[in-house]
Amino acid sequence: MKTESKVVQTCYLIVSSLILTFIANSFWMYHTREMNGLWWASLILFVLINVFPSLAKRYYPSFRLRMCFHGVQCLKMFLVSALLSLICEIVLAFSMIPDQWELYVINLLLCIVVESIVFWNGIISVYVTSKQLGLKHRIIGIVCGWIPFANMYALGRIIGIASAEVEVEINKALLDKSRQGKDICATRYPLLMVHGVFFRDFQYFNYWGRIPKELERNGAIIYYGDHQSAASVKDSGAELEARIRQIIAETGCEKVNIIAHSKGGLDSRYAISQLGMAPYVASITTINTPHRGCVFADYLLGKIPKSVQDNMAAMYNGTLKKLGDPNPDFLAAVYDLTASRAVELNELMPDMAGIYEQSVGSKLNVASGGRFPLNFSQKLVEHFDGDNDGLVGYESFAWGEDYTYLTVEGRRGISHGDMIDLNRENFPGFDVREFYVQLVADLKKKGF
């Protein structure tokens, strides 16, 4: 798999921008009839550049990314050629006005048309194909597009985000190709991925983002909990017991490797320790699970009037019943996440011999570093629980033989939602898809 070098990209960008600048500012030459051939040749090149903004036959993992890169290149060419065109038009103004002012106006209008075509070619391509750009930067681009100087800053941000997206995805494709056929995630026992509270992994929502496809691409066999979005640990544990028995009966796999996020870790532990699932579980990995509960949950439940709690629960339960949950229980789920209830649950859920147990936690450095909705409580949790992922405090994560604590430098950090790729977001310092690939590859090395 070959990709064009940065040098090739840069050289082609410069040459293309110069050609565009010439086309945008050369109608006065066409009018003299002395350089008609050159102008028409340049016009053909203009069309080709807009269709093929990249010279080399570069590999793209998908058509979407190819079009995203197309848009990025067009926007880069627009920035360079627009700046050069501004200089050219100023020079032409001094030489053509007032004697040839009509010709200058036509030349200026053509310049605007040419630059507009390149710009809209690029911006539409990026807006339609980029997944990392997000709603916020799309809105900023639209609003700032009419504000001088601010529009250049917004355009620069759009180009930067889309460029990084293409580069990350190409590198990911290269990495996957390099280990194609090795099946580094083909564990002895299949994976059972267990979701957390207030979300589901079936019908209407993809809880785990891009993670499952990446694991399957590297050989993993995956099943899901398929349980309700909100219930007590006891009831959710019972659903998982039935699910594990179903998987084993249908596949004959003997055991499963559980990867559970948030409350799903508590639900899984209950199924293992209280409902006889220990013989059918080879390993359990909990991701950002509140093993010791959340002190801030105790505080909120103590402050919010019972009538308000009941109204919230009725609204939630009613909505989720319509979406397919047979018997959701909002308040039971919330109460089982409190620090006081965690003490009781941990007494009921001791570690079980013969099962490899490990845990993972992360830190969201500041609330604005993550994305709504799993970041807005970061400051409140910090007050009661210290460093946290937006929902769960640092002291609550660790459980089992091995513990991994993750964060990145700067303001970003890694949120509760980032750990399940909730927003499908790429950011420097942490690749959630590769993290899970290496986590499962390690389970395979351990014989699970």
List pLDDT tens digits, range 156-178.
999 999 999 999 998 998 899 89
Looking at residue 56, its pLDDT comes to 47
Instruction: Provide the pLDDT confidence category of residue 6 given band limits of 50, 70 and 90.
Output: confident
Which of 144, 177, 210 is the endpoint of a domain? Answer: 177
Looking at residue 62, its pLDDT comes to 83
Which of 122, 144, 177 is the endpoint of a domain? Answer: 177
What is the distance between the alpha carbons of residues 22 and 122, in angstroms, rounded to a whole number?
19
Looking at residue 54, its pLDDT comes to 62
201 in the same domain as 312? yes
Q: How many helices, marked H, and strands, marked E, lie in the chain?
A: 16, 6
147 in the same domain as 221? no
| pLDDT tens, position by position, 209-258 | 999 999 999 999 999 999 999 999 999 999 999 999 999 999 999 999 99
User: Would you state the structure tokens that stand for residue 216, as one six-digit string?
Assistant: 């399957």
User: What are the Cα distances from residue 336, in Å, to 127, 162, 236, 292?
Assistant: 43, 42, 11, 10
Identify whether 160 is part of a domain.
yes
- Cα–Cα nearest to 393, from 409, 377, 411: 377
| pLDDT tens, position by position, 15-24 | 888 888 888 8
Identify whether 1 is part of a domain.
no
Give the mean model confidence (pLDDT) for residues 117-143: 92
288 in the same domain as 205? yes
Which of 177, 210, 239 is the endpoint of a domain? Answer: 177
Lowest mean pLDDT among 3-12, 30-39, 132-141, 274-283: 30-39
187 in the same domain as 169? no
248 in the same domain as 202? yes
Identify whether 398 is part of a domain.
yes
User: Does the pLDDT at position 420 exceed 60?
Assistant: yes
Identify whether 265 is part of a domain.
yes
Distance of CA 82 to the CA centre of its chain: 33
Task: Look up the pTM and report it.
Answer: 0.87
218 in the same domain as 159? no
404 in the same domain as 270? yes
Looking at residue 279, its pLDDT comes to 97
Provide the domain limits for residue 130.
6-177
224 in the same domain as 198? yes
Does residue 373 have a cis bond before it (omega within 30 degrees)? Answer: yes
371 in the same domain as 311? yes
Instruction: Provide the pLDDT confidence category of residue 371 given band limits of 50, 70 and 90.
Output: confident
381 in the same domain as 245? yes
Identify whether 164 is part of a domain.
yes
Unique residue bearing structure tokens 């018997």: 327
275 in the same domain as 139? no
